[in-house]
Structure 1
Amino acid sequence: MTDQIEAAAQSWAAKQRAAEGLIPLVGSLYRENDVLLTVYGRSLLNKSVTGIIKAHRYARHFDGVELDLDETLAVAQQLAELDPGPSTIDLGRLAASVRTGGDVASVLAEQLAEVVGATASADAGPRDVVLYGFGRIGRLLARILIDRAGGTGLRLRAIVVRRSGKGGEDIVKRASLLRRDSVHGKFDGTIVVDQENETILANGTLIQVIYSDDPSTVDYTAHGIDDAIIVDNTGIWRDDAGLRKHLASPGASKVILTAPGKGEVKNIVFGVNSDAIAPEDTVLSAASCTTNAITPVLKVLNDEFGVVNGHVETVHSFTNDQNLIDNYHKGSRRGRAAGLNMVLTETGAAKAVAKALPEFAGKLSGNAIRVPTPNVSMAVLNLNLERATTVEELNTFLRNTSLHSPMRNQIDYIASPEVVSTDLVGSKRAGVVDGLATIVDGDRVVVYVWYDNEFGYSCQVIRCVAQMAGLDMPSLPALS
């Protein structure tokens, strides 16, 4: 037993040493080369030693064993010498190729040929981003943009809000809400408020706070902001005419809404119909959190099995539009205390799927139940398929899709008998299939999809913003 204890301690220490060697390589490649290093899709940027070790353990879902940190360290060291250009590079997949296909140098030269020696355009610079509204989604978008600053093509320049406090009280309170979050925890870094100049300095990102009640009256150029993408988090303006008010402001060039768009506004679910984003598009919607959670899963199921029709029931955490205690509300039932009741309400997510996937027009019905939890929701997909299947076949397909398909950044898969909603807080995927809950009866299936309706959705929004900005970085090695 003593030998086992000592061996376990030595093994852990070796992993720590290798992870400590990876950390500076991850940081320098990101900031100097615009290269994001991942392990089977799990980002290593700003991860702790333990976080990097956990990412390597995740590789057992792909390789059957935990990924050797010494292998990935050797790959990263060789990669740094090649001076790669802007890209996302998966160390796990490269290490697997080295393990089966030869020496590190030759594998990297072959699989990374398109970015070796490439550089970003010298005059391109990062694209300015403005958050119009600074609520739940706005603050999470800010966290993501700040976390990726320094090696990304997106730069958070300003937030626009209505002034709510006297003197400098407003900006102090908003900075405090960015610093501390009851659901997502403390901001990882430092925040400094300059009340006189109305700025927030967060981890080296200087954010101008602009006060306005009307999106068409802001002069962004007065703050040195130009050609900016405006992310409207308010949901007040949802049609084309309303959203175009943002474009009347000097310095604004495009706008994306973090809510379902109305009328002819394109509703984009990244990974599903994001190829519909055209360079000339100036007004887009990132749809809703629920639409983003269910549409990728519905698409892959339809492609593989064919979906005849179905019903989507969402079990959704309460939101700010509900009342804390019973009081008047213009919506049905939403006036009842959110923290005490399950509230049956409507959802447009089922119909909204057809805006991203026209083949689903008229196929889905939907409803929603708001429940007394602050974050993480679930969609129950009750579907009739074109052919019969089994639990094993369906789950194997969904698991492989989450690991190896182009939709791997949208769909995740879990198979744990102990997972509950809080375990999914912070998930970067649009939706997470719960394999152990899957029900199959011939051609009728029930699939359960968890989703962090705040953070997972915010990650989808950022992906849309990046594509609007024309940031099309290759992800290597390419999937076969």
Structure 2
Amino acid sequence: MTVNDDVFTDWKNREELAETMIPIIGRLHRERDVTILLHSRSLVNKSVVSILKTHRFARQIAGEELSITETFPFLQALSALDLGPSQIDLGLLAEAHRADDRGLSPAEFTAEAVAGATGANKLERQAPRDVVLYGFGRIGRLLARLLVEKAGGLRLRAIVVRNGGGDDLVKRASLLRRDSIHGQFQGTITVDEATNTIVANGNAIQVIYSNDPSEVDYTAYGIDNAILIDNTGRWRDREGLSAHLRPGIAKVVLTAPGKGDVPNIVHGVNHDTVKPDEQIISCASCTTNAIVPPLKAMNDAYGVLRGHVETVHSFTNDQNLLDNYHKADRRGRSAPLNMVITETGAASAVAKALPELQAKISGSSIRVPVPDVSIAILNLQLARETTREEVLEHLRDVSLTSPLKRQIDFIDSPDAVSSDFIGSRHASIVDAGATKVEGDNAILYLWYDNEFGYSCQVVRVVQHVSGVEYPTFPAATN
């Protein structure tokens, strides 16, 4: 047998294992609300090739590829346990077992590592929490995709939009079905014009036409105790957003920076500060979500005395395709043809999300002719001197095992470009190759999908405030 034959046989064996994993992962998710992860990446509803690629990704982080033959026994062990709702990371299980010197079998080690999710310790499954989307633009439609995907704990019941006239319902369903950047919707979408309903993967989503929040009684549609996500950005302060607190709505989440006393929440950093009785919160901006987790990671390890963030941001539909009047300076110039200097509120929002950071952070932004994925260049003066190797090792560890592993990703590829990060579910991705450190100065290059990555952060906040954000096992080590 040749080397090529050996490689091919090994690949087919791994394919077979991945095929065997898929129904187990699906059954755990469907029947027990257990999400199987691999280094913080969900394996639910993933293809054979996607599962194998996720295993291979570990090589960029840990230095060697994680073999599916190593993780499969842990998944088998999980399937035999009496698990409650939780998230379980096979990568962390395998890594922790490798470091354990007690000689425990995968089954014995797994039972011990996830004891908090089994038997008398397990959480009980809850009825799905109703969610309403107010607005159905770029972020709204991505949130819809994510909410349909997570229908076990959150259920998208309605979207509220202005009536655009003829074929409005059909056109909105079509925009949900196809996306020029993020591709096809993973599933089926049908339209019931008689009831103004879009059905996505069996989820009946009521389309409510309204010009003003005060016009809607959500209980008339069977919606109760819902979380409303405002994607319009029309209202930013407590007074304006309070108009959404109509019959059937319990909480309001804004997908833009909040003003005044509205809490700005970055999941992974300060989501645990949300008070149970708080009815109105903001998820800040995509850029704030991209820079605050790495800022916290750097401040915790080195101290940050001051910093500046320069964002190179993809254009948005707030800008003009061709030169035309715009109320803001420069944004009236053609977005696909120009780099456009503009402002960013991300730096000033840091203090709200990360009050323990006393450093002054300034910021500016340039919009560039790409439709999605941006990069934040974070220039930091640290409280002590360090090295590039030390910083990269710290950020690599943070992306793997810390409580920020769902927010911070890490890549060490010499050929990485912006389109590589379309669809990333992390708030930001550290580009190891571009990182610069000299003495007490560190410059981090942070990629972020300003549409999808941010939408994932919003859904995490909604899961948290709704009580369906389940614990992850094994627990983070730092």
When residues 384 and 63 of structure 1 are mapped into structure 2, their CA distance, relative to the original with a 3 A threshold, is closer
- Give the C-alpha shift of residue 462 in structure 1: 0.4
1:165: how far off?
Answer: 1.7
Equivalence for 2:133: 131
* 1:57 and 2:51 are equivalent in the alignment: no
Quickly say closer, same or farther: Cα 1:473–1:263, change in 2 above 3 A.
same
SS in structure 2 at match of 1:114: helix
Equivalenced residue count is 473
Question: 1:215 and 2:186 equivalent?
Answer: no
Q: CA deviation at 1:56?
A: 1.5
Cα separation, 1, equivalents of 2:319 and 2:274:
33
Measure the CA separation in 1 of the matches of 2:222 and 2:80: 37
- Partner residue of 1:295 out of 272, 292, 308: 292
State the AA in 2 paired with 1:458.
Answer: S
**Where do residues 81-120 of structure 1 align in structure 2 (5 Å cutoff)?**
81-99=80-98, 100=100, 101-117=103-119, 120=123
Partners in 2 of 1:64 and 1:435 — Cα distance?
13
Q: Which amino acid aligns with 1:236?
A: R
Per-residue Cα deviation, 1:106-156 (whole angstroms, up to 9, x for no partner): 11221111211356546x30100011100000000111111222xx31111
CA 1:158–1:347: 2 relative to 1, 3 Å = same
Question: Equivalent residue of 2:115, what SS?
Answer: coil
Counterpart of 2:160? 160
Query: Post-superposition shift, 1:275?
Result: 1.2
Match of 1:31 in 2: 30
* 146 and 368 in structure 1: CA distance in 2 versus 1, 3 angstrom threshold: same
Residues 294 and 408 in structure 2, CA contact (< 8 A), matched pair in contact too: yes
Contact 2:158 2:205 in 1 (8 A): yes
The whole-number CA distance in structure 2 between the counterparts of 1:95 and 1:384 is 37
Quick one: distance in 2 between partners of 1:96 and 1:301? Answer: 25
RMSD over aligned CA atoms reads: 1.4
Q: How far has the Cα of 1:286 moved from its partner?
A: 0.2
Of residues 339, 342, 345, the one that matches 1:345 is 342
Tell me what 1:263 maps to: 260
Equivalent position to 1:363, from 360, 364, 376? 360
TM-score normalised according to structure 1 size = 0.96
Specify whether residues 63 and 394 from structure 1 end up closer, same or farther in structure 2 by C-alpha distance, changes over 3 A only: closer
The 3-state SS of whatever aligns with 2:321 is coil
Q: CA deviation at 1:61?
A: 4.5
* Aligned-partner SS, 1:388: strand
Aligned to 1:241: 239
Per mean C-alpha deviation after superposition, the further-off stretch among 382-391 and 22-31 is: 382-391
Q: 1:285 pairs with 270, 282, 286, which one? A: 282
Q: 1:239 to 1:394 in 2, by over 3 A?
A: same
Alignment of 1:192 onto 2:190? yes
Structure 1 residue 96 displacement after superposition: 3.4
Shift >6 Å, 4+ stretches: none
Whether the 8 Å CA contact 1:351–1:361 is kept in 2: the answer is no
Q: Which runs of 5+ in 2 are unaligned?
A: none
> What amino acid is the match of 2:77?
Q
Q: 2:384 and 2:147 mapped to 1: Cα distance?
A: 44
1:277–1:467 CA contact under 8 A, matched in 2? no
Corresponding residue for 1:439? 436
| Structure 1 residue identity aligned to 2:136 | F
Structure 2 CA distance for aligned equivalents of residues 121 and 88 of structure 1? 14
Contact 2:85 2:124 in 1 (8 A): no
Aligned partner letter, 1:461: V
Partner of 1:372: 369
What residue ranges of structure 1 are gaps of 5+ in the alignment?
none
Cα distance in structure 2, aligned partners of 1:116 and 1:68:
26
| Structure 1 counterpart of 2:269, from 263, 269, 272 | 272
Letter in 2 for 1:164: G
SS in 1 for 2:386: coil
Task: State the secondary structure of the residue aligned to 2:384.
Answer: coil
Q: Deviations over 1:267-308 (max 9, x none)?
A: 001111111111111000000000000011111111111111
Aligned to 1:423: 420
Deviates more, 1:392-401 or 1:189-198: 392-401
Question: Is the contact made by 1:260 and 1:267 (CA closer than 8 Å) also made in structure 2?
Answer: yes
Further displaced range: 458-467 or 437-446: 437-446
What's the secondary structure of 1:84's corresponding residue? coil
Indicate which of 447, 464, 469 corresponds to 2:461.
464
Question: Contact 2:307 / 2:359 at 8 angstroms: preserved in 1?
Answer: no
Partner of 1:7: 6
Report how far residue 354 of structure 1 moved: 0.7
The Cα shift of 1:361 comes to 5.5
**Whole-angstrom CA distance in 1 between matches of 2:26 and 2:304:** 44
- Asked if the contact 1:33/1:83 (under 8 Å) is kept, the reply is no
- Tell me which amino acid in the other structure corresponds to 1:155: R
Aligned 8 A contact 1:57 1:67 in 2: yes
Mark the CA change 1:332 to 1:208 in structure 2 (over 3 Å): closer, same or farther: same
Deviations 1:241-271 (A, max 9, x none): 1111000x21000000000000000000111
What corresponds to 1:307 in structure 2? 304
Q: Residue in 2 aligned with 1:71?
A: 70
* Letter of the structure 1 residue corresponding to residue 196 of structure 2: E
Among all aligned residue pairs of Structure 1 and Structure 2, give the percentage whose two residues are the same amino acid: 59
- The 8 Å contact of residues 221 and 251 in structure 1, kept in 2 or not, is answered as yes
Contact 1:309 1:363 in 2 (8 A): yes
Of stretches 197-206 and 71-80 in structure 1, the one that deviates more from structure 2 is 71-80
Partner SS, residue 473 of structure 1:
coil
- Give the superposition deviation at 1:102: 1.4
TM-score (norm 2): 0.96
Give the aligned residue type for 1:116: T
- The verdict on how the C-alpha distance between 1:13 and 1:189 changes in structure 2, with shifts beyond 3 A counting, is same
Q: 1:315-334 alignment to 2 at 5 Å?
A: 315-334=312-331
